[in-house]
Amino acid sequence: MSQRSSSTPRGWDAADSPFHAAELMAQRHAGVSEEAELSGRRGIRRYMPDQHRQFFSEQPFMVFGGLDANGQPWATLRAGAAGFVSSPDARTLRIDGGVLPGDPLAGRWQPGMMIGGLGLQAQTRRRNRVNGVVSSVEGDTVMLEVMQSFGNCAKYIQSRTPTFVARGETSTRTPVEITTELSDADQALLANADTFFIASANVGEEAGAARGVDVSHRGGLPGFVRIDDATTLTTPDFSGNRFFNTLGNLLHDPRAGLLFVDFASGDLLYVAALAEIVWDGPELADFPLAERLVRFRITEVRRSREALPFRWSEVAYAPQFVTSASLPESLPDSPPASPPDSLPASPLEAPWKKLRVAAVHEETPTIRSFYFESTDGAPLPAYQPGQYLPIRVPVDGFDKPLARTYTLSDASNRQQYRITVKRDGVGSRWLHERFTTGMQVEAMTPRGGFTYDSASPRPAVFISAGIGITPMITMLHHAIAAREPHTQPKPLHFFHGARSDGDRPFSAHLRDLAARHPAVSMHLFDSAADPATHASSSTLRGRVSMAEIKRSLPFDDYDFYLCGPESFMRELYEGLLALNVADDRIRFEAFGPATVKRTPANPPAVPENARGSRPANLPETNGSGIPVTFARSHRTVQWLPKDGTLLELAEACGIAAQSSCRSGMCGTCATRVLNGRVAYEEPTDATIEEGHALICMGRPVADDVAARDGLSLEL
């Protein structure tokens, strides 16, 4: 069963409500006062949990809200290399630069200024909030004292992956275009928008501990922002966390700041407006899923061109949006919307969607490729090279479908998905033995953060072993296809190790690629090849090692991509670091019973006054670990504190587990505990059913009983 520690802080630790009077009014109007108060006191903290602090430090951009000299709220972005936002302690957020051209809050970041912050990782649909006050400013460094911190669920976030791209000098010299109404180009952007951010505020002293600035995310299918005229917008308000931070602020002060991102050009469109809440009425029928509407009367529009230094992958829409026809195809008095190619074209009633097996191909005696297509002929959602496909199959002996994730092993073509699977484990054996052409499988939208940076000008080095070749060949295909015409191709170096060439999938295809593309340098190693026959082979004897990599690579500055078993990965990762390769230029994904983890230069430490004393039932192992068994996957591994949460442990083992907020709020990750006990170092917000645990926040209880009997989960 799961177990909580009574000495751990439980959310909001102040006597006053975490909500101000106008937020409470909005909650009463919506009929959720009791629910909101209970959730708020459990989920809102006056410090940042460790997971949030690490999450903020891993993002290349962050959304902020603040007030200008006239008290007008603005939502804006700051961007930089991951780590430009960090957390020296649980009550402090440090922001090192990242100001973008045209930022309406430039020069306003001064001690005493109230700031709302939103960390968003679109590709995984994770987000966390933090509100606070600027405590000090030194040069480009801003220190923010945290007043409120809480997680948000993944609802309505569209998945897309950003990669840095250098912006020209001209973008910093282009003056910001300021008007009082939307131009035709502005209206076209908004008509196709699927995301925007909104800043609002209540900085009155009477708001007490709940005073401050808030910035929130809004998402929907293209067309969910209705353009009534050049100075008026109407947007739906969907079911959320029931806190009503934004609407409560707007009841107090109707001024709002909206931010729209042009994901194609990098333009940022800032809109200042006065908001009116439409609580009910027939107009709501025009916006499926809407619980109320917000109408914005525009007072100012600012466009900052090419300000955001990212390219973005194609969008994968949030599963809450049931069908592409759920919003009107055309809107009165607005430009016609042309939804992107990846807009869902068929009902999506759940995260899982049926795919048909189009073909099965044997790559080696133990490895097969499976080709999938949509069951209705609609184009498949695009994906980034390196991402994986979650699938689930009805394995005999299990009362629920077995979920697994497999890397997509070919470039995205919208007509077919290909996964390449080694026969190893319950799920893969089922695929090899039972999957035939015409069968159907349930799959989610492709996802994953291990992707190829096509915007980087540096040569790429792909290094893999065994079935770790799957993301690498996808990245290689993409890199070759993405070359700019009439330009010198970027060098691509491909290393792969197998026992023999007969054990290597795509061997002949790899040699053919190298023969047809002079920029591709191919290095194929066989560790157990027959010496008698290997002399005539085009492959190299031995293993992929740092010595071989140094011998084969000319002197240059590279991006490294690694995938393979844990020991292989660790040797390469540590070897590259020893050669002074920058950590952010080494990207990796491991498989097997463990994974390689980066060691942060300044690992976060929660101060005692924020976290309380360590509960006696939380892990203090003697180095031998706690055995954790994933029953469905038939795998037992030794858990150590460095392995993090049970969700992180499962993911490191390649075990698919449902999750969403990763902060104990939504309950998506609730998993049945078959044996043993789970403790939480931080308070959780979601209700935990008896005999279950929230694995996104849970860790094994560590004592003599646990060391002997371990923990068993139904995964």
Mean pLDDT of 509-533: 88
- CATH number (domain holding residue 560): 3.40.50.80
Mean pLDDT of 209-215: 95
Q: Is it the case that residue 543 has pLDDT exceeding 80?
A: yes
Q: Is it the case that residue 191 has pLDDT exceeding 90?
A: yes
Residue 99 pairs with which residues in a beta bridge?
Answer: 78
Q: Would you give the distance in Å from CA 280 to the centre of its chain? A: 34
Same domain, 581 and 619: no
**Quick check: is 289 in a domain?**
yes
pLDDT at 328: 34
Helix (H) or strand (E) holding 25: helix 21-30
Share of the chain above pLDDT 70, in %: 83
Mean pLDDT of 83-95: 95
**Quick check: is 378 in a domain?**
yes
User: What tokens were used for 163?
Assistant: 């990669």
- CATH number (domain holding residue 189): 2.30.110.10
**Quick check: is 268 in a domain?**
yes
Same domain, 708 and 672: yes
d(CA 433, CA 425): 12
Q: Please say which residue of 408, 443, 478 terminates a domain.
A: 443
**Quick check: is 332 in a domain?**
no
SS3 content of the chain, % helix, strand, coil (to 5): 20, 35, 45
d(CA 261, CA 447): 22
d(CA 295, CA 302): 19
pLDDT at 110: 95
User: Any idea what DSSP says for residue 99?
Assistant: B
Q: State the total domains in the chain.
A: 4
Query: Which of 605, 566, 601, 595 lies closest to 582, judged by CA?
Result: 601
Same domain, 384 and 306: no
Q: Please say which residue of 252, 280, 312 terminates a domain.
A: 312
d(CA 511, CA 464): 16
Q: Give the confidence band of 318 by pLDDT, cuts at 50, 70, 90.
A: confident
Q: Is it the case that residue 541 has pLDDT exceeding 60?
A: yes
Does residue 288 contact residue 326 with C-beta atoms inside 8 Å?
yes
**Quick check: is 327 in a domain?**
no
pLDDT at 396: 76
- pLDDT tens digits for range 434-456: 889 999 988 887 877 688 888 88
Q: Is it the case that residue 80 has pLDDT exceeding 90?
A: yes
Same domain, 359 and 270: no
Same domain, 221 and 101: yes
Cα 658–660–662 angle (5° rounding)? 105
pLDDT at 651: 79
Q: How far is CA 662 from CA 52, 90, 183, 629, 658, in A?
A: 9, 18, 40, 21, 10
Helices vs strands, H then E, count in the chain:
15, 36
Share of the chain above pLDDT 90, in %: 49
124, HSE (Cβ side, Cα atoms, 13 Å): 19
Q: Is 548 exposed, middle or buried (0-12, 13-18, 19+ CB in 10 A)?
A: middle
d(CA 355, CA 441): 5
Q: Is it the case that residue 73 has pLDDT exceeding 80?
A: yes
pLDDT at 598: 56
User: What tokens were used for 87?
Assistant: 């957390």
d(CA 590, CA 652): 8
Same domain, 51 and 92: yes
Q: Give the confidence band of 669 by pLDDT, cuts at 50, 70, 90.
A: confident
- For residues 126 and 596, the model is more confident at 126
**Quick check: is 693 in a domain?**
yes
- CATH number (domain holding residue 685): 3.10.20.30
Query: Looking at this protein, which amino acid is placed at residue 116?
Result: G
Query: Looking at this protein, which amino acid is placed at residue 623?
Result: G
Mean pLDDT of 61-90: 96
d(CA 420, CA 89): 44
pLDDT at 309: 92
Q: Is it the case that residue 566 has pLDDT exceeding 80?
A: no
pLDDT at 343: 36
d(CA 98, CA 441): 44
**Quick check: is 516 in a domain?**
yes
d(CA 693, CA 673): 7
pLDDT at 5: 35
Query: Considering only 60-64, 312-316, 662-666, which range has the smallest mean pLDDT?
Result: 662-666
Same domain, 581 and 659: no
- Strand, helix or coil for residue 329: coil
pLDDT at 620: 41
Which residues 6+ apart lie within 8 Å of 523 measured at CB? 493, 494, 495, 496, 540, 544, 548, 552
User: Any idea what DSSP says for residue 2?
Assistant: B
Same domain, 365 and 298: no
What's the domain range around 382? 353-443
Same domain, 246 and 140: yes
Residue 109: Cβ within 10 Å count: 20
Q: Is it the case that residue 625 has pLDDT exceeding 50?
A: yes
Same domain, 395 and 502: no
Q: Please say which residue of 411, 443, 475 terminates a domain.
A: 443
- CATH number (domain holding residue 383): 2.40.30.10
Residue 320: Cβ within 10 Å count: 18
- Strand, helix or coil for residue 235: strand
Which residues 6+ apart lie within 8 Å of 127 measured at CB? 118, 119, 120, 121, 151, 152, 154, 157, 217
- pLDDT tens digits for range 325-350: 333 333 333 333 333 333 333 333 34
Cα 556–561–565 angle (5° rounding)? 130
Mean pLDDT of 529-546: 76
Torsion of Cα atoms, 674 then 677 then 682 then 688, to 10°: 40
User: Any idea what DSSP says for residue 175?
Assistant: P
Query: Which of 601, 451, 561, 663 lies closest to 57, judged by CA?
Result: 601
Q: Give the confidence band of 643 by pLDDT, cuts at 50, 70, 90.
A: confident
Q: Is it the case that residue 2 has pLDDT exceeding 90?
A: no
Same domain, 98 and 177: yes
Mean pLDDT of 396-418: 81
- pLDDT tens digits for range 220-234: 989 999 999 999 999
Mean pLDDT of the chain: 83
**Quick check: is 329 in a domain?**
no
Mean pLDDT of 31-49: 84
Same domain, 465 and 418: no
Mean pLDDT of 174-196: 93
Query: Considering only 40-49, 77-86, 105-114, which range has the smallest mean pLDDT?
Result: 40-49
Q: Is it the case that residue 300 has pLDDT exceeding 80?
A: yes
Q: Long-range contacts made by residues 580-586, C-beta under 8 angstroms, separation at least 24?
A: 584/81, 584/82, 585/458, 585/558, 585/559, 585/560, 586/560, 586/562
Give first-to-last CA distance, the chain, whole Å.
15
Q: Is it the case that residue 618 has pLDDT exceeding 80?
A: no
Q: Give the confidence band of 605 by pLDDT, cuts at 50, 70, 90.
A: very low
pLDDT at 9: 42
